[in-house]
Amino acid sequence: MDNERPPHPPAPADGEQSPPGPPAPDDESGTGGAGGNEERAEGEAEATRTRHWPRRTRRTLLAALLALLLPLLTAETALRLNYTGDPRPGTHTRHRDALWLGHAWVDGRKTDKDVKKLAGRLRTTGIKDLYVHAGPLEHDGTLPQQAYRKAPWLIETLHRELPGIRVQAWLGDVLATESPDGMHLEREATRDAIVASAKDILDAGFQGTHFDLEPLHSGDRNYLNLLDRLHALTHSRHALLSVAAHQIDPLPAFHSFWGTTTGHPKWWSQAYFGQVARRVDQIAVMSYDTMQPLQSLYGGYVAEQTSLALEVTPKSTDLLMGLPFYHENRFGHWGHAETVPAAVRGVRLGLSRTDADRARFGVALYVDFAATEADWRAYRDGWVSGA
Q: Does the pLDDT value for residue 190 go beyond 80?
A: yes
- Please report the pLDDT score of residue 6 as a whole number: 36
3-state secondary structure of 367: coil
CB 282 within 8 A of CB 298: no
Q: Give the distance, in angstroms, between the CA of residue 234 and the centroid of all CA atoms in the same chain.
A: 27
Separation of alpha carbons 338 and 241, rounded Å = 28
Separation of alpha carbons 238 and 235, rounded Å = 5
CB 379 within 8 A of CB 365: yes
Comparing CA positions, the residue from 65, 67, 2 lying closest to residue 262 is 2
Average of pLDDT values for 339-367? 98
- Please report the pLDDT score of residue 32 as a whole number: 39
pLDDT per residue over 204-218, tens digit each? 999 999 999 999 999
Separation of alpha carbons 214 and 194, rounded Å = 15
Separation of alpha carbons 281 and 369, rounded Å = 26
- Please report the pLDDT score of residue 1 as a whole number: 52
pLDDT per residue over 138-163, tens digit each? 999 999 999 999 999 999 999 999 99
The more confidently predicted of residues 94 and 50 is: 94
In whole angstroms, how large is the CA radius of gyration of the chain? 28
- Please report the pLDDT score of residue 66 as a whole number: 55
108 class by beta-carbon count within 10 Å (0-12 exposed, 13-18 middle, 19+ buried): exposed
Separation of alpha carbons 145 and 156, rounded Å = 18
- Please report the pLDDT score of residue 260 as a whole number: 63
pLDDT per residue over 58-78, tens digit each? 777 676 665 555 556 566 777
Average of pLDDT values for 259-274? 85
Average of pLDDT values for 249-260? 72
The CB density around residue 122, as the number of other CB atoms within 10 Å, is 18
Q: How would residue 120 be classed by pLDDT, with cut points 50, 70 and 90?
A: very high
Residue 231 to residues 33, 110, 225, 243: CA-CA distances in angstroms?
Answer: 96, 31, 10, 11
Per DSSP, helices labelled H in 83-124 are: 112-122
Least reliable range by pLDDT among 27-41, 59-73, 305-319, 354-368: 27-41
pLDDT per residue over 76-113, tens digit each? 777 778 899 999 999 999 999 999 999 999 999 999 99
